[in-house]
Structure 1
Amino acid sequence: MKQKRFNPNWSYSFGENYALRNGKLVYYFDQAPTRKWVFEGRRYRGENFKILENWRVNSIVEYELELGSGEEKSFFFKFPQYPLEPSSETLSKLATGRFSDYLNQMVRFWTLAVNQGMSISLNETKVVNASRSALVHNIMSQEYPSENEIKQVVNRFQYNRFWLRDSSFHARLYSIFGHLDSAEKLLRHFLRYQDDSGNFLSQKGQLDGFGQSLWAFGEYIKITRDREFAQEILPSVKKAISWFEKMTKEDEYGLMPSTFAMDNEWIIGRYTGHNIWALAGLDGAIEVAKIAGDDESVERWKQLRKEFYQTFYNLLVQVSERNKGRIPPGMDVPGGVDWGNLLEVYPDNFIAPDHPLVEKTFEHYRKKHYAEGIATYRLSMHHYVTERVAKIAVIQGKQEQALSDFYSMLLHTGSCHQGFEWAIYPWSDRDYCPTTPWGQFCNFPPHGWYAVFYNTLLRNMLIREQGSELHLLSVLSPEWTKPGDEIQVNRALTYFGIVSLKAISEKDKLVLNLKTDFTQAPEKIVVHFPFFAEVKAVEADGKEVKFFQDRVELGIKTKELEIIWRLNPAPGYSYQAFVDDYKKQYQKKYRIKYR
């Protein structure tokens, strides 16, 4: 979709069967009208669509007809997605096009798109429908500049543009969901944003694009082990690494350079998140070189990562000590808004999840920067940042926190399961266009990053990688484990190969069936127990095995697992329960306010 600002100086006219705006076709009509209405002079004033005189209608066709009792007549109007040149080919397509044909074409496209790759099913309709809708929200924001590229925009409103930071996560989502063609074409589009210096940059000053691009390349390679693609992008990766080496060598701290972008962290200086992403990017570059067969670059970049890690980590400990033991947004300036500093465990496991810096950072964030169960950004709620916090809880084994975050994210979705970014204030109305002392601004959903993060979180709750281990069922809801319930994940792509699972709940046990096709086997499989379960015994392929209080560790050839348990009541953990509780809280607050 191509957007342009409204221009009050556009001209309007008609062709034989179509209306034109500035010489381009905006709609086509099959039946000849009784009359056509058009005003060819200056029609509008300014950008607020102010009509000069109410009677000056424009680009309208009028039909006069008589209908007998019970008689019907249909009129067909065809609107292209964006204005087109009225070429003979375009006019021919519009003349012969039928609604039923285009409807069937659309149904076929979306049926294939949504059902391709990994599928998730479980006994909570909202969870599954939100997942499918999120995938639709991402695919509908794709553009196709060439046969071998996809340009991913964030949404069709205020974010109808390309960002490396958003698209890096889109590419990974497409990879783990089995949409590999989309992932590869999107990553190839990244190459357009590598400047002459070697850096990847889509917006001025947003230096995280370096690490995010290389990380995204590496994630795709780890999933696909595609040697041909690795060799295709390796020259660009080498050029980017050369830029990084030059920048860090010139920097007085040995870090990523300072930026004046006033980005999400709202600081001018050296961003903590830019350096975290640099580490993730180095790991991605190593993966690309490894699969491409460039052993020399692998060893050199491993050493480069080791040295940069030590420099960055030592400085981070120092600045965190001055920040009450919490990881700050900036490395050399105080203050700022928590953003990239929330990424130290995921996606790259820069610091161990139980490290005191991580514990203090996220404990403080939950205490000071949550409202209505989700994250905040400055004064308003922020929908998708919640996923960053939830994902840490998943890795840390804090299942109740992760599940609460998950349902709170769902709680704040719209009628089409869409997520927003920010600009909605806690316990206020749900208006995406708030009025502030600086004027009114709009932040419309659906937001593509929310859609990516929701599906990534759901996938990781059920199947995820942690280092060289495959982790299953990290977070379950009691709503999914009632007797007779089934959880199924089919064709999940992982670093280790394809994994499918079926978990069947019975009165006193869970039966887990695994189907794996490992291309690079994990060291072990870890199956987590729900926080509301008391496990009495575990059998793997018919043999009793030892287990821990919260998990069991299995061999990579395990096919069937039986977990004998007693499930304790865990009321309040379902989407509907969160909705009901939210309504009660909302009602209570407004009764107090207006009584």
Structure 2
Amino acid sequence: MRVKEFLIAKALHLIGLGFISDYVFAFLSIGYSSGEPIPKVLMDFNILNIVRGLFTRFVVSTNLDWIWPYWMVKQFYATSEGFSARGFNPASINTNYRNWTGIGDLDSEYEATIDPRGLTTPYFNSWSLDTWLQLDSQVYSPALEKVCAQKLLNNLPIVVTTTAYEKKIQLTSTVFAKDLGALRTVALQKTEVKNISKKTQTFCFSWAFRPYNNDGIALINKLEFKNNGDVYINNRLAAVILQIPGGITTSTLSRGDVKLFFDEAKSNGKLADFRKSRVGMATGICVYHVTLKPGQSTAFEIRMPVDRKIVKKLTDKKFAAQYSEQVRLGSYAALLKEHLANWQKKMQTGLEISVPDEKIQSCFDANKAFMLMFYDNTYITPGPSTYHEFWFRDATYLLNGLDKLGFHQETRNVLNTFQKRILASGLFHSQQGEWDSNGQAIWTLMEHYRLTKDQEFLKENYPLIKRGAKWIIGKAQSNLNLNPGYRGIMPPGLSAEHFGLNDYYYWDDFWSLAGLQSAAQACAELGKKGDSFSKGYAKLEQAVDTSLCYAAAHLGQPIMPISPSRRMDSAAVGCLSAYYPCRIYAADDPRLVNTVDFLQNKCFIRGGFFHDVNHSGYGTYLTMHIAQCYIGQRSTRALDILNWLLKVASPTWCWPEAIHPRTLGGTIGDGHHGWAAADICLLIRNMLYLEENNNLLITPVVPARWYKGQKIAVSKAATYFGQLNYTIETSSTGAALKLSPHYKQPPQNIEWNVPVKYKKVLVDGKIYSGARIIVPAHTKKVQLFY
């Protein structure tokens, strides 16, 4: 027994857990050792999930008469299709309905979230705000309703949630998060209450302050309502109510849900109240008496701090008093108008498209806005809540999406921080034990150069690229495994967590190749010698090819498992990085084609790619990666995937990291996934235009119906060649492509892929003959005749 195993066994015996030692050692023996600990952020996140989930399980299951959030209602109540049995499951974690929408401002660092029933959670793991109604002695919450409408206002991060009760009263909550200068980001919520019946209605509306969120119980140990409408939670100013209520009451776990004391709040006339809870289950409501004639409406407003740095300061009474005074300034209408104007002005910059499909158009516009929301000035995160962290892996896709949307300065602001993220060893570090980050960082830096041709930027960052590329070469050389299939490839690591435990992942190899290829290109662009990077690339490429031949011999065909130690499974989707986005292999490479075919035939369920490893759900961005391969192959299966994605998207045009096959709710990660937002923008972009082998492709894969009396327009499109602008106008007799690019470096040719049959082609007025429409870069107009 090795020293490490001896110490673990000894420790387990000392705490009376010796009987599990065999399982612990068996678990530790899976895969290969990387010599690195599990990333701390993953440990912290999982420990929080388990402890919070354990608490949530026992609190909720013994108090089902409380009003719980939508996800708990669906998972805890036996009549729900999303019911999860708890008997042998020690922790109750949201695994079936991880869905929410982030709201934030341009350049703001933090976001709030809105769940599918309008529950507002101001910041990660915080308390939440619900909107309740008491009508005919019954207390209603959107979480309990079967029907609830939700949408974005103008396809921007402004969420509108509408719920109707008994065909009498309709509640519409509009929530946005705005940067208010010194106050930083503030969530502003206005809930309109409208009488939709034909009779006068008398009822009560209330703000409900709840000890839970999208992940589980959020401890409220102390809740205090002040006379002026300030609400303190755990000694911090948490909310400012703009209309003084008619009454207030609070409760705790032992006393029972505050809904039981609605009548008390209606009649006591209190404007202040205070409640402590040792178990963190304090809750309270402030109640408004309302009488409305048919068609009449009234509205209530509340404002909540979102910025976590500001939240920490709000325990200071003087600062909190100043904050309360300032956050009340400005009318909701004026602030919303300003917010809309700022967003709309920004949305008029960068890539703009116009396509004859309302869903695709709205989806693109919304996710373009979300990409700007995920951008947090000096870093970018793949989620507003659970994943509000920086990972090079996610940032690579997010920054590439931001860059290709035309937001080069925003991208550069984040890239400028890479110098602080590289260690003395040359490792671009965000988490321990992940060997893909260097290739990703170098590739992202070079992608920015490829899109901008900014020589000064490349000169400034070349030292980082050089150090990072040397680290890749050294890391590959550190692999001492001389067994067939393993020699010379990147050593084992955790890599992307959705592949499994530590192993020799080809994902790391392809990203490392992309990094070395980019480093060699950087040398060429700057007139420097890049022989060592080219040689390093060739050596690693040969090792990967040899390893894949080894895998092919075992699997009976040229195909790519995720590791030479694995058979084919859903994790093989990670090997598609060889084409998208790394472009190490062509889309028609037999190894890639066979891998895509395997995934399509074995891992697709009802239109979506189901990922068994870790995600245990439809992989949202992973499904998009398969679609990218189909675009490269000019296959209309890419359109089938896009249609499926639109079908399973939330009404606010976002996706969780993975989707439950039965409930179609989120199963893992952030309920509003930034990587998915980036990939959907890039998927739609690459359907409309794509760089390939120094050529520019127009509409490589689009629906044939778009070429029948419809119009397609693309403007301010960033490409490797410069800015692209084009329109395609179609009729029953033909189509016309008009190009007005602004090249920095023109492509070799332009290829126009047309999904309908045509008889005649004119290029700038001259007859063109050829099986494919491939025209010179400076062509202005191409006409087709059906």
TM-score interval, normalised by the smaller of the two chains: 0.7 to 0.9
**Structure 2 counterpart of 1:564:** 785
Change (3 A) 1:189 1:4: farther
CA distance in 1, matches of 2:353, 2:496: 39
Aligned positions of 1:24-103 closer than 5 A? 24-30=236-242, 35-41=270-276, 43=277, 45=279, 49=281, 58=284, 76-82=301-307, 83=311, 85=314, 87=319, 90-103=323-336
Q: Check whether the contact 1:155–1:448 (CA below 8 A) recurs between aligned residues.
A: yes
Residue 422 (structure 1) aligned with residue 652 (structure 2) = no
- 1:486-526 residue CA offsets vs partner (Å, 9 max, x unmatched): 00001111000011110011112110000111111111111
- Match 2:427 to one of 176, 182, 199: 199
- Match 1:340 to one of 545, 570, 574: 574
- 1:430-451 residue CA offsets vs partner (Å, 9 max, x unmatched): 2336xxxxxxxx6553322222
- For 1:401, give the aligned amino acid: R
Aligned positions of 1:97-112 closer than 5 A? 97-112=330-345
Aligned positions of 1:188-587 closer than 5 A? 188-252=416-480, 253-260=487-494, 263-291=497-525, 293=526, 295-296=528-529, 298-325=530-557, 326-334=559-567, 337-378=571-612, 380-398=617-635, 400-425=636-661, 428-432=662-666, 445-483=671-709, 485-530=710-755, 533-548=756-771, 551-565=772-786
Between stretches 353-362 and 208-217, larger displacement belongs to: 353-362
Shift of 1:315: 2.2
Shift of 1:13: 4.0
SS in 1 for 2:758: strand
CA distance in 2, matches of 1:65, 1:424: 41
CA distance in 2, matches of 1:504, 1:544: 19
CA distance in 1, matches of 2:516, 2:630: 25
Between stretches 6-15 and 315-324, larger displacement belongs to: 6-15
Q: Check whether the contact 1:423–1:443 (CA below 8 A) recurs between aligned residues.
A: no
SS in 2 for 1:504: strand
* RMSD of aligned residue pairs (Cα, Å): 2.9
- For 1:517, give the aligned amino acid: H
SS in 1 for 2:741: strand
CA distance in 1, matches of 2:686, 2:294: 61
CA distance in 1, matches of 2:219, 2:730: 63
Q: Check whether the contact 2:224–2:272 (CA below 8 A) recurs between aligned residues.
A: no
CA distance in 1, matches of 2:591, 2:218: 53
Shift of 1:419: 2.3
CA distance in 2, matches of 1:373, 1:541: 42
CA distance in 1, matches of 2:553, 2:506: 14
**Structure 2 counterpart of 1:437:** none
Between stretches 99-108 and 155-164, larger displacement belongs to: 155-164
Change (3 A) 1:230 1:89: farther
- For 1:513, give the aligned amino acid: K
CA distance in 2, matches of 1:342, 1:499: 27
**Structure 1 counterpart of 2:198:** none
Q: Check whether the contact 2:226–2:273 (CA below 8 A) recurs between aligned residues.
A: no
SS in 1 for 2:762: strand
SS in 1 for 2:654: coil
Change (3 A) 1:73 1:431: closer
Aligned positions of 1:115-126 closer than 5 A? 115-126=348-359
Shift of 1:74: 6.9
CA distance in 2, matches of 1:156, 1:249: 39
Change (3 A) 1:508 1:431: same
Using the size of structure 2 for normalisation, the TM-score is 0.63
Q: Check whether the contact 2:506–2:575 (CA below 8 A) recurs between aligned residues.
A: yes
CA distance in 1, matches of 2:524, 2:239: 53
Shift of 1:478: 2.4
Residue 22 (structure 1) aligned with residue 234 (structure 2) = yes
- For 2:646, give the aligned amino acid: L
**Percent identical:** 22
**Structure 1 counterpart of 2:394:** 166
**Structure 2 counterpart of 1:578:** none
Shift of 1:344: 1.7
**Structure 1 counterpart of 2:414:** 186
CA distance in 1, matches of 2:664, 2:562: 29
Change (3 A) 1:269 1:36: same
- For 1:213, give the aligned amino acid: A
Q: Check whether the contact 2:648–2:664 (CA below 8 A) recurs between aligned residues.
A: no
Shift of 1:229: 2.3
- 1:341-384 residue CA offsets vs partner (Å, 9 max, x unmatched): 12222222222322221221111211111111121101532222
Q: Check whether the contact 2:227–2:272 (CA below 8 A) recurs between aligned residues.
A: no
Report the count of equivalent residues.
532
Shift of 1:423: 4.0
Change (3 A) 1:7 1:503: closer
- 1:247-283 residue CA offsets vs partner (Å, 9 max, x unmatched): 1122132221211568212143210111001111122
Change (3 A) 1:142 1:44: farther
CA distance in 2, matches of 1:65, 1:119: 45
SS in 1 for 2:620: coil
Shift of 1:405: 1.8
SS in 2 for 1:35: coil
CA distance in 1, matches of 2:768, 2:423: 56
Structure 2 stretches of 5 or more lacking a match? 1-109, 111-122, 127-216, 246-268, 481-486
CA distance in 2, matches of 1:452, 1:69: 45
Change (3 A) 1:339 1:38: farther
- 1:112-159 residue CA offsets vs partner (Å, 9 max, x unmatched): 232221111011111100111112233223334xxxx1x222222432
Q: Check whether the contact 1:174–1:183 (CA below 8 A) recurs between aligned residues.
A: yes
Change (3 A) 1:407 1:32: closer
CA distance in 2, matches of 1:366, 1:272: 20
- For 2:492, give the aligned amino acid: S
Q: Check whether the contact 2:227–2:271 (CA below 8 A) recurs between aligned residues.
A: no
- For 1:460, give the aligned amino acid: N
Structure 1 stretches of 5 or more lacking a match? 52-56, 434-441, 566-595
Shift of 1:24: 2.5
- For 2:594, give the aligned amino acid: K
CA distance in 2, matches of 1:303, 1:318: 23
Change (3 A) 1:557 1:22: same
- 1:207-232 residue CA offsets vs partner (Å, 9 max, x unmatched): 22221111111111100112232233
Q: Check whether the contact 2:576–2:626 (CA below 8 A) recurs between aligned residues.
A: yes
